Amino acid sequence: VFDSLKDQPAVTRDGMTLDLSINAGFLVDLNELDATGAAGVGLYRTELAFMSRPDFRAADVQAAYYAAVLDRAGSKPVCFRTLDIGSDKQLPYWRMPAEENPAMGWRALRLTLDRPAILRHQLRALLNAAAGRPLLRVMFPMVAEVAEFRAARRILDLERQRAIEAGQALPERIEVGAMMEVPSLYWQLPTLLREIDFLSVGSNDLLQFLFACDRGSPTLGDRYDVLSPPALSFIRSLVEACRPAGVALSVCGEMASRPIEAMALAGLGVRRLSLSPAQIGPVKAMLRSLDAGALAAYLNRVTDSADHSLRRHLLAYAQDHGITLPTTTFRAR
Ligand code: PEP
Ligand code: MG
């Protein structure tokens, strides 16, 4: 039923166009680009390839792999996230120190900044793979402060310089972004926004840190809701900061993959979503039935409320306004 939407734009009834991309982590996932009519890959989880191998991959092996990703994506952009290992993503060949709270521990960018050779090799491989191509898009996970972003960026610049000195071709354009997953970064946005090309909300991690609520805990599974006033207000603040700065804001966590939540994001003014391929159709169908401006006005009225969650309100809003949602959305949480 969603196949007929594949070649239709993701445009709301009031004319707001969204960019719907897919989350990917394996070469085979790229088949979904054509199958879904997605705009590109908004999150390529590079760590997945590392997790499924017996050892670390050398820069040249990585380069060949990233080139294959870019080849398969063709003219569609791919946003490569640098290694996000640690916490729930362990490498079988790397013994990590035991930690009380691995989700808040040595992981992602922290880890690769402490082991810069790993990041250097990965960035070298990405530059190599994208040499002579129109675009290389790279983002860093779990950035907690501007200083960390700058340290990572410096490594990219070093590798870029190295490529130039070696007479190697560069990508025509390099876009560099940060993931918004650690709330502290919010208070440095004015500085950060001058230095990044895009900001991508990792709502899975962001929400766990915003609410101090382990994303993997079954006991806490329903404790806090992404459709709550604090979470939605936080995202709206990001939209309001990014827009005047001309920095593209996307959401690539699971939140973007659920139609009712994607509806709220569209109402808040988020224009780029990166989601599971299977959800592109349902999210597009929702968007094409939505008046985003009217929902924005509604959200302005309700996000100040002290309710635990706005989910019921948003479900009722969707029903009242004839918004296309999968029937499973209406099952009680
Ligand atoms: C997120 O945290 O929302 C995210 C996209 O990253 P992860 O791979 O940790 O889910
Ligand atoms: Mg994350």
Q: What percent of the chain has pLDDT over 70?
A: 99
Q: Look at the chain and count its residues.
A: 333
Does residue 252 have its Cβ closer than 6 Å to ligand 1? Answer: yes
Stated pTM of the model: 0.97
Q: How far apart are the first and last CA of the chain?
A: 26
3/189 Cα distance (integer angstroms): 39
Are residues 149 and 112 in contact, defined by beta-carbon separation less than 8 angstroms?
no
Is the pLDDT assigned to residue 332 strictly greater than 80? no
250-289 per-position pLDDT tens digit: 999 999 999 999 999 999 999 999 999 999 999 999 999 9
Q: Which ligand is nearest to the CA of 201?
A: 1
Cα 295 to ligand 1 centre (Å): 27
Segment 141-158 shows an average pLDDT of: 98
Beta strands in the chain (DSSP E): 19-24, 41-45, 78-81, 135-140, 173-180, 198-201, 248-251, 272-275
Max avg pLDDT among 85-89, 94-98, 137-141, 222-226: 137-141
Max intra-chain CA distance, the chain? 62
| Residue 333: pLDDT band with limits 50, 70, 90 | low
248/41 Cα distance (integer angstroms): 15
Does residue 84 have its Cβ closer than 6 Å to ligand 1? Answer: yes
Q: Which residue is closest in CA terms to ligand 1's atom 6?
A: 202
66/116 Cα distance (integer angstroms): 20
Instruction: Identify which of 111, 179, 235, 255 to mutate to test ligand 1's pocket (most ligand atoms within 8 A of the CB).
Output: 179
3-state helix, strand, coil in the chain (%, to 5): 50, 15, 35
Beta bridge partners of 251: 201, 273
Q: Which ligand is nearest to the CA of 43?
A: 1
Does residue 47 have its Cβ closer than 6 Å to ligand 1? Answer: no
| Burial of 65 from C-beta contacts in 10 A (0-12 / 13-18 / 19+) | middle
| Burial of 140 from C-beta contacts in 10 A (0-12 / 13-18 / 19+) | buried
Cα 206 to ligand 2 centre (Å): 7
Return the C-alpha torsion angle 29, 81, 128, 41, nearest 10.
40
Cα 166 to ligand 2 centre (Å): 35
Instruction: Identify which of 80, 181, 211, 258 to mutate to test ligand 1's pocket (most ligand atoms within 8 A of the CB).
Output: 181
